[in-house]
Structure 1
Amino acid sequence: MNVADDKTIVKDYFNSTGFDRWKRIYGDGEVNKVQLDIRNGHQQTVDKVINWLQADGNLAQLSICDAGCGVGSLSIPLAESGAKVYASDISEMMVGEAKERAASIFGNNDNPSFDVQDLAALSGKYHTVICLDVLIHYPVNEASTMISHLCSLAESRIILSFAPKTFALSLLKKIGSFFPGASKATRAYLHREADVVKVLSANGFTVKRSSMTKTRFYFSRLLEATR
């Protein structure tokens, strides 16, 4: 199945049953043990990114593109820290939820700003481009194209997270335990870290910081690369 079909599946999923599921996971309400584990893992990744940027001491001076923003879990705290944030997601429902959450904090402020867009349609220039837990929806043969496009938007830095392709995770995925539960409705693509680094290097970026988040059901490799 080609990438266009995968995008349609992802878009439809996150505009229907997937939206309800992930809205709960990214919220603070009651969830089951698996969802709580994923929530905690994702939040760890978000917190690491925020800590990295805050440690640099210039967050309020930055323009940031949050590509695949979901319900605003990263965009909103970055805007609270003073960054100028442009956020987008393929799901209209996700973007709608993110706008509501932002409005409850910032009122009618236009920062962060949210838009419904596919990664491939993103344009403009930003000091930092961030894409968290999105590449898992892209086939291996399309990931390099998406990463290269995101690199073209970044003036100074790109931060990516992805599910790393290791023997252990490949085995889990093969036996159907990577994303457990009846609500699993999208493909989960694993990516070799060496392949991701190679694409970043080809686009003029060098990895400066990295981290791994691993819980029972959530696995995410985080890379920060700069020009």
Structure 2
Amino acid sequence: MTNALDDKTIVRDYFNATGFDRWRRIYGDGEVNKVQLDIRKGHQQTVDTVLGWIREDDNASALTICDAGCGVGSLSIPLAQMGATVFSSDISEKMVGEAKQRAEALGLSGNPTFAVQDLESLSGKYHTVVCLDVLIHYPQEDAARMIAHLGSLAESRLMLSFAPKTLAYSLLKKIGDFFPGPSKATRAYLHREADVVAVLESQGWIVKRNAMAKTQFYFSRLLEAVR
């Protein structure tokens, strides 16, 4: 539990300080360095996959969606534009402020709804809960607890992305290439897919779809689980 508190504090402080400016640029469309551009492209692949799955289902306007760890709104904003009712939260006050500004600049008022909240303090019920690129900041025990909590909020679907723990990626991480240079600022945890699936199945979820986004410096496994 202490480690969880430490990790949350690290994440909150980082994304409210130097990390905010760095990741706001990465998740934006301005000029960035090659590593940041590579990460931007990888993250966008994950976002686009989620949006693509929802488009395939052709029912966005009927959905209530919780975007847990919304960052600057990269997913929340297009979901709202698709007609979904979106509740967006992030542990970082600065990230939420940026997301609000981006939504307002696009004429979105009142949807998404934004809040500064710790993932584990979220409440309510939503058709779909999405949590992208958050679990990398937490070790498996804490991630498992977070997944279980997110699952308790979701009525029909849970979408999660995580950095997969494989031999190749573990070696990359050890030699410092997984998050190189200035892009590394919080603890980076890899998770075995089997462990994530086990947590989901223990809560009654079944993995329906999966995808992998991979660039030179970004690796993310995406799972869609349904009841």
Question: Normalising by structure 1, what TM-score?
Answer: 0.98
1:160 maps to which residue? Answer: 160
Q: Deviations over 1:48-95 (max 9, x none)?
A: 000000110101100000000000000000000000000000000000
Displacement of 1:185 after TM fit? 1.4
RMSD: 0.8
Q: Deviations over 1:160-195 (max 9, x none)?
A: 000000000000111111100135210000000000
1:187 maps to which residue? Answer: 187
Moved over 4 A (4+): none
2:81 maps to which residue? Answer: 80
2:4 maps to which residue? Answer: 3
Spell out the pairing of 1:191-210 with structure 2 (5 A cutoff): 191-210=191-210
Question: Normalising by structure 2, what TM-score?
Answer: 0.98
Instruction: Please state if 1:54 is matched with 2:64.
Output: no
> CA separation in 1, counterparts of 2:102 and 2:55?
22
Spell out the pairing of 1:138-153 with structure 2 (5 A cutoff): 138-153=138-153
SS in 2 for 1:49: helix
Contact 2:36-2:183 at 8 Å conserved across structures:
no
> CA separation in 2, counterparts of 1:199 and 1:210?
16
Rate the CA distance shift 1:98–1:56 in 2: closer, same or farther, 3 A.
same
**Sequence identity of aligned pairs in percent?**
73
> CA separation in 2, counterparts of 1:59 and 1:201?
26
2:96 maps to which residue? Answer: 95
SS in 2 for 1:158: strand
Q: Which amino acid aligns with 2:72?
A: V
> CA separation in 1, counterparts of 2:182 and 2:93?
23
1:137 maps to which residue? Answer: 137
1:126 maps to which residue? Answer: 126
> CA separation in 1, counterparts of 2:183 and 2:106?
31
Q: Deviations over 1:23-53 (max 9, x none)?
A: 0000000000000000000001000000000
Displacement of 1:106 after TM fit? 2.2
2:116 maps to which residue? Answer: 116
Q: Which amino acid aligns with 2:71?
A: G
